Amino acid sequence: MKPAEIGRLLTATGYIADAELSTLVWMGLTIDRPLLLEGEAGVGKTAIAQAVATALKRPLFRLQCHESLDLNQAVYEWNYSRQLLEIRLREAEQKGLAGLRDDLFSKEFLLQRPLMQAITSEQPAVLLIDEIDRADEAFEAYLLEALGEYQISVPELGTIRATTHPFVVLTSNGTRDLSDALRRRCLYHYMDYPSQPREIEIVKALVPEANLELVQQAVSFVQKLRKQDLEKTPGIAETLDWIRVLCAMGQTSIPDDPALILASLSSLLKTRSDQWQMGTELVAKLQSDSKVGIDVGVAGQSK
Amino acid sequence: MATTAPISQPAIQIRGFASYLRDHGFLIGLAELDAMLHVSLLINIEQSRLLKTCWKGIVCSSSGQWRKYPDLFEAYWYPHKVRGSSKTSGVERKGKTLKQLVQDMHASMEQQGGKQTDASIGLNFEGQGEDSASNQKSQGGASRTDPLHKDFKQWLPEEIHQLESYITPLEQRLKRKLIRRWRKSHLAKRIDLPKSMRQGMATGGEIIKLQMKKRSDILPRIYVLVDVSKSMESHAPFFLRIARALCQMLHARVFVFHTRLAEISSLMKNNSGRVQEKINAVTFGFGGGTKIASNMESFLKIYAKRALGRKDIVYILSDGYDTDPAEQTRDAIKAIRNRGAALYWLHPTKDIPRSEAIELSKQYINEFMSVDNLKSLEKLADLGHQTFH
């Protein structure tokens, strides 16, 4: 499989990847290395894992990281309540307790969490470790071992080795600096906001019902908006939401009335201060700029 | 892993490129070099430009490196396309273009019956350490324009020990900062139910003793920005040594700036004697003047966009001379403070710098501290005493 082919498969799933990202996915699959994707929220880091899973027809296992994530939530946990129930049942049935210990720590009582599910999956899987920067450093260190050897040690059962290597995608929003060791084990890709033509392509693919003129103007507007000093810059997901809202309002182009635009901007601006600083004057300016941009054919290349 | 297999020319050139990137702060070890060579063999000759993208994923490990890589790639492989001085590290590259190089690798592989081994493509690093790399540096720009004349190696062990002893109390103080969920009552305990149940298995499933969650200390992120402009020429080595101690002991991220900003944290983590030279390589070609405001803005927009928060600390090590407008500096410093981070200004002069930029920004700077000798760092842990409590 070539990088271009990966790009085509991803496009078929509705994910418009640029050449760099397709190449990186190809490399990850070819040299069997995890992908580390960094970038702002809403630029499609998580979606790429879902797209790869769909494109390659692989099961997707997702591990959402958070501050108090521990191995019990990420790798495996014994089903304590079921184990206790089993002990009580055996006692009540007055069956012999011989072999109970072995039975209690068998795979039957093991709750597999995403990391183990991905490693034990018979079919090569896609493992998405989302927002790894939210997990603590101890978990990061554990990941190094698991992703390096593709094996997990369960003291009661022994070492569980991967039958197939999952394609691992790690995403980070940069809230914490990841360790060099983890970075070096991964292929790195920084996902920036898409260029205007690419964003138009994405919107056209995902909101096909939207009028082309509306798409071009709205994307141009969002591109200009991203250059403003915002607390939370709108990502692709926000652009899609906004265009869907405008479509639902029956618009075929950006409304001429800034007040109407302001009313729909809550799908783009997600903090109070951002909404507060966006007045009708600024909206009118961005609106006129985006229309000029279209007139001179900035987005026309994407047709 | 000594080997006597001949090292092929393309592999040497790729190794040279890796060395060139290393001098610019990229973390490239054997595994990365191996992956670079592996990928080179997978790519068709016609697609040799594809290598640029493939290697990018392998060698980059941060957004800063991601942005820097295209320029470095062009400067190394296509120097004729780059105007002016393109070499900053002194590593020389002789001969072939990237396309020719890939062609050679494939030819070399075919000659060896398609069995290109790691050994044959020169993964033996014995003798390829920093000494041999330095042998290749015939006319490194860095050594010619060295702004930091005193070498790191000139520090005596007792001086380093003394410096570290001033930072240890700061480390202790930072650890005492409680994360929000513990702040209301740091004595409050939280039950760890899974652990309690696990322990209960030893007593037939009866939970005799509740297990409590342990409090985790989260250190604030520390950023150190060192001014290495001409006016700081005589102080920069000392300040960089302080930055290095902060980096190694408190995992601070370290940046140097004069007209531009560059992260050097990875260089600071190593105890190499060539740190000085590498920093010079990174900052070579920055040009004259000091743009504190522009650099603060870059710091905030690129490096600390999301990673600067309420409990974090920014140390600026500078004499305060700025060629940017004073208002711009004030706004940049204000923007950092608006994130909630504490900002301390360490200056080499006895008195607080009297530049216009500092005068205007004073109100947004938590505290100033004069650092004119090692002993003056004694007060470092006392900086922001109120912030820590």
Listed in sequence order, the residues at least 6 apart from A173 whose beta carbon sits closer than 8 Å to its beta carbon are A38, A39, A40, A41, A131, A133, B306
The packing angle between helices B63-77 and B50-59, to 10°, is 140
Averaged over A81-94, what is the pLDDT?
84
Mutation for A interface: B62, B191, B221, B250, most A CBs within 10 A: B62
In this prediction, residue B153 carries a pLDDT of: 54
Percent of chain B with pLDDT over 90: 2
Q: What is the pLDDT of residue A34?
A: 92
Axis crossing angle, helix A45-55 with helix A19-31, rounded to the nearest 10: 60
* Residues facing residue B316 across a β-bridge: B225, B345
Residue A135 Cα, gap to closest chain B Cα (Å)? 12
Average pLDDT (A203-208) is: 89
Q: What is the pLDDT of residue B180?
A: 55
- 3-class secondary-structure state, position B312: coil
Instruction: Compute the average pLDDT of residues B337-357.
Output: 87
Which pLDDT does position A292 carry in this prediction?
Answer: 58
Where on the phi/psi map is residue A158: left (φ > 0), alpha (ψ -120 to 50), or beta?
left
How are strands ordered across the β-sheet holding A60-64?
Answer: A60-64, A126-130, A167-172, A35-39, A187-191
CB-CB neighbors (< 8 A) of A38 in chain B? 62-63
Distances, alpha carbon A165 to alpha carbons A168, B65, B191, in Å = 9, 29, 37
Query: Chain A partners of B60 at a C-beta cutoff of 8 Å?
Result: 188, 190
CB contact under 8 A, A190 and B38: no
Please say if the pLDDT value at position A185 is more than 50. yes
The answer to whether residue A211 scores a pLDDT higher than 80 is yes
How would residue B123 be classed by pLDDT, with cut points 50, 70 and 90?
very low
pLDDT range class, residue A302, cuts 50, 70, 90: very low
Say if pTM beats, i.e. exceeds, 0.90: no
Q: Which of A113-122, A290-299, B37-46, B345-354 has the lowest mean pLDDT?
A: A290-299
Residues of A in contact with B58 (CB under 8 A): 27, 187-188
**What pLDDT, in 10s, does the model give residues A116-138?**
999 888 899 999 999 998 888 88
What burial letters (b/e) apply to B276-291, b meaning 16+ CB within 10 Å? bbbbbbbbbbbeeebb
Report the mean per-residue pLDDT for chain B. 72
Long-range contacts (CB closer than 8 Å, 24 or more residues apart) made by A101-109:
A105/A78, A105/A156, A105/A157, A106/A157, A107/A157, A109/A78, A109/A79, A109/A82, A109/A83
Which of B251, B266, B307 is closest, CB to CB, to A174? Answer: B307
Rounded to the nearest angstrom, the minimum Cα separation between A51 and chain B is 19
Provide the pLDDT for residue A104: 83
pLDDT at res. A141: 85
Q: What does the alpha-carbon distance between residue B121 and residue B105 come to, in Å, rounded to a whole number?
A: 9
* Contact check, Cβ <8 Å, B42/A30: yes
pLDDT given for residue B136 in this prediction: 37
Chain A interface, Cβ < 8 Å to B = 3, 19-20, 23-24, 27, 30-31, 33, 35-36, 38-40, 72, 77-78, 80-81, 83-84, 87-88, 136, 173-177, 180, 183-185, 187-190
Q: In the prediction, which pLDDT does B362 show?
A: 87
A229 → chain B, closest CA residue: B301
- State the pLDDT at residue A180: 83
Q: What is the mean pLDDT of chain A?
A: 85
The whole-angstrom distance between A209's CA and the closest CA on chain B is 35
Contact A38 B58 (CB under 8 A): no
Q: Is pLDDT at B179 greater than 70 in this prediction?
A: no
Place of tokens 């595994």: B31
pLDDT at A171 over 90: yes
Helices (H), chain A: 3-12, 19-31, 45-55, 71-74, 80-92, 100-104, 114-120, 137-149, 180-185, 196-206, 212-226, 236-248, 258-264, 272-277, 280-295
Q: Is the pLDDT of residue A170 over 90?
A: yes
Helices vs. strands in chain B: H and E counts, helices first? 17, 6
- pLDDT, one tens digit per residue, over A137-168 is 888 888 887 887 888 888 888 888 888 889 99
pLDDT at B46: 62
Q: Is the pLDDT of residue B36 over 50?
A: yes
Q: How confident is the model at residue B24 (pLDDT cuts 50, 70, 90)?
A: confident
Query: In whole angstroms, what is the distance from residue A216 CA to residue A197 CA?
Result: 9
> Which of A146-155, B47-56, B90-99, B357-366 is the least confident region?
B90-99
Cβ contacts of A292 within 8 Å, gap of 6 or more = none
* pLDDT tens string B290-315: 888 888 888 888 887 777 887 789 99
Q: Which residues on B lie below 8 Å from A35 (Cβ)?
A: 57
For B218-259, the pLDDT digits (tens) are: 678 899 998 888 778 778 888 888 888 888 888 888 888 888
Q: Mutating which of B42, B49, B52, B60 best tests the A interface, going by the most A Cβ atoms within 10 A?
A: B60
pLDDT digits (tens, 9 = 90+) for A16-29: 888 889 999 999 99
- What's the Cα-to-Cα distance from B367 to each of B293, B379, B385, rounded to whole Å? 18, 12, 10
- With CB atoms and an 8 Å threshold, state whether A20 touches B269: no
Residues of chain A with Cβ-Cβ distance to B51 below 8 Å are none
Please write the tens of the pLDDT for every residue from B41-61.
Answer: 887 656 767 888 888 889 888
Pair A147, A184: CB distance under 8 Å: no
